[in-house]
Amino acid sequence: MTEISPILLSLIALKAGAKIMEIYASDFDISTKSDASPVTEADAAAEHIILCELEKLSPEIPVVAEEAVSNGIVPEIGDLFYLVDPLDGTKEFVSKNGEFTVNIALIKQGEPVVGVVYAPALGEIFWGVQGRGAHAARVENGKVGCPVSLNVRSAPPKVVAIGSRSHGSAETEDWLSRYEVESFVAAGSSLKFCRVAQGAADIYPRMGRTMEWDTAAGDAVLRAAGGIVTTLDGQPLFYGKRGRAEASDFANPYFVAYGDISLKKD
């Protein structure tokens, strides 16, 4: 496998995050994409930075990026490619609650093997590498502090569930009824995966539409921390889904992210 350093990907995420925060502090315009989701100039500006930097870092690896795909620009992909969401949680960005992230992931043979999630407004960055563990650090004045190892926690008798702040559903509540739930925490963007990875929550069910660039980086962090993300039939979430009659390219099925793997029920 081409060795891609999570540190170099983190530097790219920091650069994109700096631009996002510059726009966040301004009077930015909000548009609507064809799928009715919001988009701002920060999405495009951050993606431009990430694409330019990835081209310098590894020009041989294709990049599937959210805004490019929405404009019809989709590269041919093989066993190795990047998935990029330059600003995950645009609704959180617009509402200015800080829970938005920059997501960069490297996919190998359908698995997220390197992932970086940066929450610039919160000053938090997370990264994970398959077989090498996951870490988190504070970010102050554009500088990454001392990293801390991330490990999922053993599931308690009553679990802490986490879910979408902007996309909750009755299906999620129904699915969670199979567990004893101590509390349900709402959070935005791919931070939900990271909260499970750091042991702040135990389970994250998503019964709603997501795309691969929404989940890949957070999935990589969680897997590296000892967790797992599966479809509702228990199969690991797979990346690079194209050419299906039943779903658009790169669309995810419903899934569940588990910290303690013992929570996964047949």
pLDDT in tens, 158-173: 999 999 876 667 888 8
Q: Let me know whether 30 and 12 are in one domain.
A: yes
Residue 1 resides in a domain = no
Q: Let me know whether 17 and 127 are in one domain.
A: yes
Burial of 27 (0-12, 13-18, 19+ CB in 10 A): exposed
- Whole-model pTM: value is 0.95
Residues 84-118: pLDDT tens digits?
A: 999 999 889 999 999 999 999 999 999 999 999 99
Q: Has 85 been labeled as part of a binding site? A: yes
Q: Has 88 been labeled as part of a binding site? A: yes
Q: Let me know whether 187 and 77 are in one domain.
A: no
For residue 145, give the CATH number of its domain: 3.30.540.10
Q: Let me know whether 175 and 128 are in one domain.
A: no
Number of domains in the chain: 2
How many helices (H) and strands (E) in the chain?
7, 15
Query: Tokens for 1?
Result: 């496998």
Q: Has 90 been labeled as part of a binding site? A: yes
Q: Let me know whether 255 and 134 are in one domain.
A: no
Calculate mean pLDDT across residues 27-53: 88
Residue 201 resides in a domain = yes
Residue 165 resides in a domain = yes
Q: Has 66 been labeled as part of a binding site? A: yes
- What integer pLDDT is reported at residue 36 of this predicted model? 63
- What integer pLDDT is reported at residue 1 of this predicted model? 44
Range of the domain at 175: 159-263
